[in-house]
Structure 1
Amino acid sequence: MPISAQTEQKYSTWTGLVYIFNLIVGTGALTLPSVFSRAGWAAGVGLILVLAFMSFLTVTFVVESIAAANALLKWKRIQERKSSDDHTNEHNDTTEDAEEDDPLVEQENLVNPTPLNFFCIEEKVELGQMAVLFFSRWGQILFYLCIIIYLYGDLAIYAAAISKSMTDVVCSLNIVNGTMNTTVPDSAPCWLDNPKYSRMDVYRAFLGLFLLLVGPFTFFNVQKTKYLQMFTSVMRWSAFSLMISIASAVLIKDGVQGHPPLATLSGLPALFGACVYSFMCHHSLPGLITPIKDKNRLYSSLLADYLLVVSFYLLLALTGVFAFNHLEDLYTLVFWQPGHATGYFLALFPVLTLSTSFPVVAVTLRSNMEALAPSCGPWWLRRGFFPLLAILPPLAVAFTTTDLSILVGVTGTYAGAGVQYVIPAILVWCARRQSKSALRLSSNECRFGSPFIGAGWVGLVLLWALAAVVLVTFNTIEKLEGKIN
């Protein structure tokens, strides 16, 4: 049965925008100050503005695709009903009671379909459903692979951020003159009185403990509850507000401590990956937008949300790069001090919030892999195989490195570019073709048509994604060759 807005719990536009804001402002934002300091503050400001625009552009593509998918699904159901009625009429005369049961609006739409009747967002259609509706079999496989790789990267980042935060809090060698020393290598002992265990050993121990405590939830259908969403939202807003306030206070009291360059070419790949990852919300848009009651000003509301996110990111990054002379990959660790409640709260912030998100992302990944291989073995094997396949590879990646900038950069640059740019562009292109072919209606006639109507915008997004990935790849190869030589 289709999931419609009538059967879901509806909420106001403002509530929907808060959910989208919370979805965008996540782990990626914690890496922005560090990559800003390496790539340059001016390069960071310029690139984040460009990527914010490109992300908003593709968000409108996803929204239009959702509306087109609603239209096509409604049209198919009407056609199936009409075919069934015609088949029945061949054997039996239509009774008056049967005629009274036929929906009048559907009969009217059959004769004269209009964008108002069809291009509406009433039924929640996930990206996977749209891929099945609009893509060929190979297109569906590539879509699922892209989503799966992105979710793998997400889980690796979550696991590494949690374990790294715990390690940096418990290891005594991190403390120099009462503050955290973020330059201690992973091979250094964790404790002065027990040099047997290195920081990497402790990091891997926390990673194993995390697997034992959180990993089993992947075997069940874990979903965020209303209270869990409220808890993580309060924690997120509190943590980010505290970081901005403390950095601003340092600037006011001590003046500029950090001296980032204007722009550095070598820092752009990590900056690009972090920025793409920081604007990711496209894979969850159907579930967030569909229950909104009043969608009349949806695009203007989304634009306001994006402007707020950009302002928030710039405030977080710029106060950080100028307030501190050295920044850790995970920005929260800069604020940790022993004996200070605020420092402990910020340092453990990723542990508190990401631990609740990890099972949800893992279950999403498991579901996508099951959809990609629907007939892979008996049910009892699938129930054990796919959950393990969802959590073991990303944890293995996190087991080998604590460098969050690499994980965020790779995830954002490759899989992130696919999810945020390539998939929305191809989706809207296929949606427009099928809408015109099946309904003889153009999606730009309806209120949910993207403001970026021309095919040139689709081409621009694809060229941007290709150019960005190629440039980052060449830069990464040059860096690896430099290290080898």
Structure 2
Amino acid sequence: MPTRNAQEEYPTWIGFVFIFNLIVGTGALTLPSAFSHAGWLLGSVLIVVLAFASYVTVTFVIETMACASAIQNWKRLQFIKRDRVVEHDEDSNVEMITEPLIATVDGDDQLTDASIEQTPLNIMYCRNQYYSLSSKIELGEMANLFFGRIGRFLFYFCLAVYLYGDLSIYAAAVSKSLRDVICSHNHSTNATDNDDITIRCWEDSVLSRFDIYRLCLVVFVGVLGPFVFFNVQKTKYLQLVTVLFRWLAFSVMISIAVHRLFVQKPDVPITPPKADINGIPYLIGTCIYSFMCHHSLPSLLTPISNKQRVKTLISMDYFLICAFYLSLALTGIFAFSDIKDLYTLNFVPNSDQDSTFLKAIEYFLALFPVFTLSTSFPIIAITLRSNLQTLFLDTNQLDSYNFFLRRVFFPLLAIVPSVVVCFFTESVISLVGFTGCYAGTGIQYVIPAFLVYHARRTCESMIGRGIVNEFRSPFKGNVWLLLILSWTAACLVLVSIDLIK
């Protein structure tokens, strides 16, 4: 089994930070607005429930990763068994592969009984080490391993839709943030997205706020869109800077909200509703999107040096993220009477602000989505391009297709639909809700449930029940699979009914 270099590994706490920062992204910026629609009590309950559902399916993905690794190890062992003798040590539960050495006598190869030696180093497999997380097996590889042709198609289709939604959310969020910095001085805090079509960006300008939004969208896509035609990768240092920006921005937003609550104390106390069932669909889609990490788990968990603590790591991450989301949403809903669909827009620069330091903080928060999302946009676009090619082309013969199809058509297919959607709407919360509920339920609920079901059956038939998967989910019974699929159906029904209204 291939091993990972020590330089490529990182300690458990680094894995904890990486997973935290992967989950706490764009979705967190739209969470306070969706939370305000549902009410503080009902919203709090829903966040906890959705966090738990996401955690359950994360454990499904981890179990499937270990099962996929076990199947690879089992197949590798069967290949070795073809030419070598395997002895099973019952005491240590270890299969030792013994290889007869060939002695040359007068030019002829002959077997000598005394020359049989045990080789327990590279070709020994401990039966209790079949299941591991040492090899990075991506979600697509697991789909290819456990699903049939239709299942693989549906997987890549669902992933492509999710990535399209990601690109639309990123493009709209960046363009809207840039627009609000440019036009913020004449912007009423009670204005809605529909009002932006008529409200002028500047007092003497013929351009509306929505016109400026579209111009910002064109500039943003014009600058970052061409990267989809090439291969680019985020650097470690760029990721580190992005992480620092993210922690600083969220900490400042929570601090400002707390300051407004306990220090400034508005003249008229803000009393948000406890519960509003009409807001449930908004919060469901947003929370699903906000707890998404499943598609990136193999890349994050495989390099962790101490795999035995993976379960504890995931549990702690989800507990902390759930508490963080509740803090962000609860402070926001009681500190602001009107919460924008992108929470940073509640902190747009104020022309009446005299303090240079506070004005700098306001500009930093307003431009925060621009800093963080712009670095990820090209990567997501390239990932989408690759998945579209996998969906429609034979990737093993990719070079046989013409240049236009490979290098022009699919890059444009990855970018253009998202830009068209953003050109006609700037509602980030609607994009997050749609992406999170329809594509997000597939990636976060349906695919992990079916993957772990097929993985368990495959491993049981190939490897047997005698070898225990130490990375198995604590939610082992099929009843949990039914609960997840039932919850998925309920989420889809609620959101669909809301869209039909």
TM-score (norm 1): 0.90
The C-alpha deviation readout for 1:331-377, integer Å capped at 9, x for no partner, is: 00111224610000000000000000111111111111122223373
| Corresponding residue for residue 104 of structure 1 | 120
Does the aligned pair in 2 maintain the 1:432–1:442 contact within 8 Å? no
TM-score (norm 2): 0.87
Q: 1:118 to 1:262 in 2, by over 3 A?
A: same
Q: 1:294 to 1:166 in 2, by over 3 A?
A: same
Q: 1:442 to 1:243 in 2, by over 3 A?
A: farther
| Corresponding residue for residue 59 of structure 1 | 58
Q: Counterparts of 1:190 and 1:246 in 2: how far apart (Å)?
A: 29
The C-alpha deviation readout for 1:143-190, integer Å capped at 9, x for no partner, is: 0011110111011000000000011111156445xxx55447121243
Q: Counterparts of 2:9 and 2:182 in 1: how far apart (Å)?
A: 44
| Corresponding residue for residue 363 of structure 1 | 382
Per the TM alignment, residue 194 of structure 1 is displaced from its structure 2 partner at its CA by 3.5
What residue identity is the alignment partner of 1:44?
Answer: G
Aligned pairs, how many?
A: 463
The C-alpha deviation readout for 1:201-229, integer Å capped at 9, x for no partner, is: 11111111111100111112221111011
Of Structure 1 and Structure 2, the greater helix share is in 1
Q: Counterparts of 1:70 and 1:437 in 2: how far apart (Å)?
A: 15
The C-alpha deviation readout for 1:88-120, integer Å capped at 9, x for no partner, is: xxxxx97369999996367654xxx62x22101
Between Structure 1 and Structure 2, whose CA radius of gyration is higher?
A: 2
2:174 to 144, 162, 179: 162
| Corresponding residue for residue 423 of structure 1 | 447
Per the TM alignment, residue 138 of structure 1 is displaced from its structure 2 partner at its CA by 0.5
Residue 428 of structure 2 corresponds to residue 400 of structure 1:
no
Residue 109 of structure 2 corresponds to residue 95 of structure 1:
no
Does the aligned pair in 1 maintain the 2:184–2:349 contact within 8 Å? no
Deviates more, 1:322-331 or 1:382-391: 382-391
| Corresponding residue for residue 348 of structure 1 | 367
Per the TM alignment, residue 287 of structure 1 is displaced from its structure 2 partner at its CA by 0.2
Q: 1:79 to 1:171 in 2, by over 3 A?
A: same
Does the aligned pair in 1 maintain the 2:186–2:201 contact within 8 Å? no
| Corresponding residue for residue 90 of structure 1 | none
Q: Counterparts of 1:239 and 1:103 in 2: how far apart (Å)?
A: 56
What residue identity is the alignment partner of 1:211?
Answer: V
Q: Counterparts of 1:458 and 1:417 in 2: how far apart (Å)?
A: 14
Does the aligned pair in 1 maintain the 2:67–2:469 contact within 8 Å? no
2:435 to 400, 411, 415: 411
| Corresponding residue for residue 82 of structure 1 | 81
Q: 1:172 to 1:409 in 2, by over 3 A?
A: closer
**Corresponding residue SS for 2:200:** strand
Q: 1:120 to 1:464 in 2, by over 3 A?
A: same
Q: Counterparts of 1:8 and 1:101 in 2: how far apart (Å)?
A: 34
| Corresponding residue for residue 50 of structure 1 | 49
Per the TM alignment, residue 456 of structure 1 is displaced from its structure 2 partner at its CA by 1.1
Q: 1:4 to 1:385 in 2, by over 3 A?
A: farther
1:335 to 347, 354, 362: 347
Q: Which runs of 5+ in 1 are unaligned?
A: 87-92, 480-485
Deviates more, 1:349-358 or 1:458-467: 458-467
Q: Which runs of 5+ in 2 are unaligned?
A: 86-99, 105-110, 352-358
Does the aligned pair in 2 maintain the 1:173–1:190 contact within 8 Å? no
What residue identity is the alignment partner of 1:10?
Answer: E
Q: Counterparts of 2:443 and 2:2 in 1: how far apart (Å)?
A: 24
Q: 1:231 to 1:153 in 2, by over 3 A?
A: same
Q: Counterparts of 1:64 and 1:361 in 2: how far apart (Å)?
A: 26
The C-alpha deviation readout for 1:12-71, integer Å capped at 9, x for no partner, is: 110001000000000001111111111111111000000111111111000000001111
Q: 1:100 to 1:280 in 2, by over 3 A?
A: farther
Q: Counterparts of 1:28 and 1:457 in 2: how far apart (Å)?
A: 26
2:244 to 234, 241, 246: 234
1:203 to 205, 213, 220: 213
What residue identity is the alignment partner of 1:171?
Answer: C
What residue identity is the alignment partner of 1:231?
Answer: V
Q: Counterparts of 2:235 and 2:389 in 1: how far apart (Å)?
A: 24
Q: 1:438 to 1:201 in 2, by over 3 A?
A: same
Per the TM alignment, residue 440 of structure 1 is displaced from its structure 2 partner at its CA by 1.3
Q: Counterparts of 1:100 and 1:205 in 2: how far apart (Å)?
A: 76
| Corresponding residue for residue 471 of structure 2 | 448
Residue 310 of structure 2 corresponds to residue 294 of structure 1:
no
Q: Percent identity?
A: 51
Q: Counterparts of 2:170 and 2:408 in 1: how far apart (Å)?
A: 22
Q: 1:240 to 1:439 in 2, by over 3 A?
A: same
What residue identity is the alignment partner of 1:117?
Answer: Q
| Corresponding residue for residue 472 of structure 1 | 495
